[in-house]
Each structure stands twice: as structure tokens, then as C-alpha cells.
Amino acid sequence: MILSDAILFANEVPEPFDWNRLGEHLPFEWIEAALVEQGKASIRHRRLPAQQVVWLVIALALYRHHSIGEVLAELDLALPNVTAPFVTDGAVTRARQRLGAKPVEWLCQMSAKAWSSQDKEAYLFNGLVLLAIDGTTLRTQDSAANRPTSGPALCQGDCREAIPRVRGAT
């Protein structure tokens, strides 16, 4: 990584995630339907009901760099309890095991169907739906065989880099 890129990256502070926006695009009714469809709706009054555990699983996927406790506290997902002011990691683990993968899988399929039908024309590229694109740059060996296709990369000014690069997109 070039020093100037590292400095720019270090200066960028990500904005906190706006959970209200997630609720706008992932209606509570979908979560309820996923739980009912898979037979996982909470009947018993728990500190972490199934609906809250689904939100926690989604939040943990979005905030992989935060601990479970931090995400749980940030979103205030646990129902209040005077005798137990905090939720243990073991309680969260048991709640996730009770939930299982099926409701989250059903919710992903439901949301994918709904979201893919919205603005479908905007995502067409050569007749296909474009879902994502990613680019990369690879350094290659500086050899006579590679020079015609990759050549030296241009630097600022009139200089050229010593190591040829290949750019690709998927």
C-alpha cells in the first residue's frame, strides 16, 4: 500500500450505522413471518425473544468487528429485567441455537425476492442483472513476455513503476 493511500484510509472515519434505515428496508412483519413459517416464534417470555435474536444475527453480520455484547448494548435488543441487568454471552449463544439457521435463511430468500423486483430495470447490464462488481490490481513479474500486455504502470509525473500491474474486474 502506498503511504498516501494509507494516510487517506486512516483519516476516513466511518459513520455510525443508522439502524432505522435497516428497519425501513427489512420490515418487522418479514421477521415475524420468517419465525412463524419456521415454527420458531417465541411463546415464552424471554429476555432475548426470537425476533430480537434475528435482529442480533443481522447486526452481527454487519458489525463483524464488534463483540456480541457491544452490538447487543448498542441496539438495546435485550428486554429489560431488574434482577439481571445484563445478558451473558452464554444466554446469547443459547438464544442463537434455539433460533437456528432456517428463519434467517427464509428471511434472506424473502428479502432477496422483494428487493430484486424493485427497480429491476436499473440493475440491467447487457440484459443481465448486475448484483455486484469488484476490481483488483495484481503485480506481475517484470519479464519480456509480460511487458506487451501489462507494461509498467505510470506514476505521477513522467516516471514509470518498475513492477508491471494487471487490473481485473469480476
Three-state secondary structure along 33-66?
Answer: HHHHHCCCCCCCCCCCCHHHHHHHHHHHHHCCCC
Q: Say if residue 2's pLDDT is above 70.
A: no
d(CA 170, CA 163): 23
Comparison of pLDDT for 128 and 19, the residue scoring more? 128
> Which neighbouring-strand residues pair with 139?
165
34 or 116, which is more confident = 34
Distances (CA, A) of 109 to 29, 116, 138: 15, 10, 35
* Residue 1, pLDDT above cutoff 60: no
Average pLDDT over residues 122-143: 79
- Report the pLDDT value the prediction gives residue 152, as an integer from 0 to 100: 63
Q: Print the SS3 string covering 53-111.
A: HHHHHHHHHHCCCCCHHHHHHHHCCCCCCCCCCCCCHHHHHHHHHHHCCHHHHHHHHHH
- pTM beyond cutoff 0.75: no
Determine the Cα–Cα distance for residues 170 and 166; give it in Å rounded to an integer.
Answer: 13
- How many Cβ atoms from other residues are within 10 Å of residue 48's Cβ? 21
- Rounded Cα distance between 149 and 142, Å, is 11
The answer to whether residue 35 scores a pLDDT higher than 80 is: yes
Name the percent of the chain lying above pLDDT 70: 78
Q: What is the mean pLDDT of the chain?
A: 78
Q: Tens digit of pLDDT for each residue in 44-78?
A: 677 788 888 888 888 888 877 888 888 887 777 77
Q: Which residue did the predictor score with more confidence, 55 or 123?
A: 55
> In a 3-state reduction of DSSP, which class is residue 14?
coil
